[in-house]
């Protein structure tokens, strides 16, 4: 069975990577592959959490009570978590604008937007550290024990939020590195070094944007499944 001439051309282009993958930076392709693999890991964590939550015979702690923040003598449910979520979602906005201004080669604005995104991320990690400290020091929660109910609560909480917090921390470090490179003009002159990319292209900013948006999206699922359920 012979192929039509037009179809033959499409097959030839795809098989030789001429049309589908031409001019696609390797860094961007590799980031998509990394994010896909990371999606499987976070999915396994959340499925494991749901399995443990539904199978345990001991009462599961009420997240609204566990993660309440005392303000003026009144316990406000999930106040800290809501602030953390707002900060992380806001950081997606600054990251998106950084990508936009990066491709417009506006170094000054791109630099400050990357720094703002990193500051949002650092604030999130700081609040998460406060949350961990409160649970460990005041509530006595450990990965292997939980005075408020099911012992598995501490294990899945520290595993899921710790793994996500590590991603945010790594993202903050790389955001600062990219911001410094933008400010120095490394992306314009293709200076040799780590995370530079092709001359005159701001692809590394977009690649960081892909990573950061993924981290934010994962938190939305963690927030929904762990804190609201």
Measure the N-to-C terminal CA separation of the chain; round to a whole number of Å.
Answer: 56
What average pLDDT does range 22-35 have in this prediction?
Answer: 81
| Whether pLDDT at 196 is above 80 | no
DSSP E strand stretches across 41-81 = 69-71, 74-76
Q: How many Å apart are CA 122 and CA 205, to the nearest integer? A: 18
Judge whether 203 lies within some domain. yes
Judge whether 50 lies within some domain. yes
Residue 26 confidence class, pLDDT cut points 50, 70, 90: confident
CB atoms within 10 A of CB 79: 14
Look at the chain and count its residues.
229
Judge whether 1 lies within some domain. no
Judge whether 193 lies within some domain. yes
Q: How many Å apart are CA 135 and CA 88, to the nearest integer? A: 21
* 31 contacts 207 by C-beta, under 8 angstroms: yes
| Phi-psi category of residue 68: left, alpha or beta, with phi > 0 → left and psi -120 to 50 → alpha | beta
CATH of the domain at 153: 1.20.120.80
Number of domains, the chain: 1
| Whether pLDDT at 14 is above 70 | no
Residue closest to 96 by CA, chosen among 205, 6, 226: 205
- Cα R_g (the chain), whole angstroms: 22
Place of tokens 């996500």: 164
Looking at residue 1, what is its pLDDT? Answer: 47
What's the DSSP call for residue 2? P
- Dihedral of alpha carbons 49, 162, 79, 121, sign: negative
What average pLDDT does range 146-154 have in this prediction?
Answer: 90
Digit-coded pLDDT (tens) for 52-95: 999 988 999 998 888 988 888 888 999 999 999 999 999 999 99
Q: Which domain holds residue 83?
A: 22-227
Judge whether 186 lies within some domain. yes
* 210 contacts 28 by C-beta, under 8 angstroms: yes
- Dihedral of alpha carbons 172, 176, 182, 183, sign: positive
């Amino acid at each position: 069975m012979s192929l039509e001439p037009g179809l033959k051309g499409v097959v030839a282009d795809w098989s030789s990577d001429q049309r589908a993958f031409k001019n696609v930076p390797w860094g961007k392709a590799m980031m998509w592959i990394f994010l896909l693999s990371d999606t499987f890991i976070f999915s396994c964590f959340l499925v494991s959490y749901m399995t443990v939550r539904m199978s345990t015979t001991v009462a599961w702690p009420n997240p609204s009570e566990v993660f309440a923040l005392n303000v003026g003598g009144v316990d406000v449910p999930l106040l800290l978590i809501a602030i953390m979520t707002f900060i992380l979602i806001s950081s997606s906005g600054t990251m998106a604008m950084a990508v936009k201004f990066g491709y417009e080669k506006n170094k000054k604005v791109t630099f400050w937007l990357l720094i703002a995104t990193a500051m949002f991320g650092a604030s999130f990690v700081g609040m998460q550290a406060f949350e961990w400290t409160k649970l460990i020091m005041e509530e006595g929660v450990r990965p292997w024990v939980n005075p408020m109910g099911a012992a598995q609560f501490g294990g899945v909480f520290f595993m899921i939020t710790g793994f996500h917090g590590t991603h945010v921390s790594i993202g903050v470090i790389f955001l600062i590195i990219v911001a410094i490179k933008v400010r120095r003009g490394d992306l314009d002159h293709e200076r040799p070094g780590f995370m530079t990319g092709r001359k005159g292209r701001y692809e590394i900013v977009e690649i960081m944007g892909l990573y950061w948006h993924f981290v934010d999206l994962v938190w939305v699922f963690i927030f929904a499944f762990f804190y609201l359920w």
